[in-house]
Amino acid sequence: MILRSMTKHVKDQNWFAVGLDFFIVVFGVYIGVWVSGYQERASLRAKQAQVVETLRLDMQHVLALDIAFTRDINQGFDDWAAKRASGEIIPPFFHRIPGSDIPPQHIWSTLPPNQLTDMFAPDLLFDIGFYYSELDGVGEKYKRYVIFVENEILPGLKQNPSYFYREDGLRLKPEFEANMDRLQDWVDENVRLRAWSACLVKRLGTPMKSGKSCTPDLSISVITNPDVKSEPTKAKP
């Protein structure tokens, strides 16, 4: 209809009407593009809010479980150390997660990667991905710990507790002592991840804003004398 009107006005050489028709066409296209862009931005904001809340809940869930596991491990180490101090010969302390026997899984891998770059500042996106990568890696460490428990400790529980000790009966055999150390290491790793996730939860309040990285110091300390720690230390809260 506009095209016919513009053609008629051109034939009549009514240039004011031609200009008005042209303005109407351009303005209509602009409004259409603006409305479409507004709807896309609104949809992106809604998805962003949903993803942010999902990540926040996921991190809080992992945090709650980690606190519960740490409390149980702390108590287990305390009880074991107290019995050993009184002279009891008991099996090494070990920890198993009820149910699946593996650390809780996270939701990061289910999120649409092609949309995440529009939802988070680049540095925050990197931090979140790095955090979940570390969470997976620490989870793999726990799996290896549990495999040792199942293959080496559980069968030994059917024998005399002295089976787990060296000839002098004072210290655990190296492999069992090392496995308890691995449990302590797992707790320490989770303490680091706990602080990391707390920082990320705070930064998720402004997901498109760049800020200070939440990545902790991942420098590795070299153990020069592994025999120094003869008994496991209490897990950090």
Work out the percent of the chain whose per-residue pLDDT is above 70.
70
Mean pLDDT of the chain: 79
Predicted TM-score (pTM) of the model is: 0.71
- Residue 177, Cβ neighbours under 10 Å: how many? 20
What does the pLDDT read at residue 116? 82
Torsion of CA 84, 86, 87, 88, to 10 degrees: -60
d(CA 128, CA 130): 5
Listed in sequence order, the DSSP H helices in the chain are 2-11, 15-85, 113-116, 122-148, 154-156, 174-203
**pLDDT interval class at 8 (50, 70, 90):** low
CA 138 to each of CA 2, 81, 105, 141: distance values in angstroms, whole numbers, following the listed order: 66, 25, 12, 5
Look at 12-16, 107-111, 220-224 and tell me which has the smallest mean pLDDT: 220-224
What does the pLDDT read at residue 24? 66
Tell me the average pLDDT across 210-224.
66
Q: What is the pLDDT of residues 46-77, one digit of tens each?
A: 787 888 888 888 888 888 888 888 999 999 99
* Helices 2-11/15-85 angle, 10° precision: 150
Rg for the chain (alpha carbons), in Å? 31
**pLDDT interval class at 102 (50, 70, 90):** low
Q: What is the pLDDT of residues 103-124, one digit of tens each?
A: 556 778 777 777 788 888 999 9
Spatial neighbors of 190 by CB under 8 A, at least 6 apart, are 66, 69, 70, 138
What does the pLDDT read at residue 226? 40
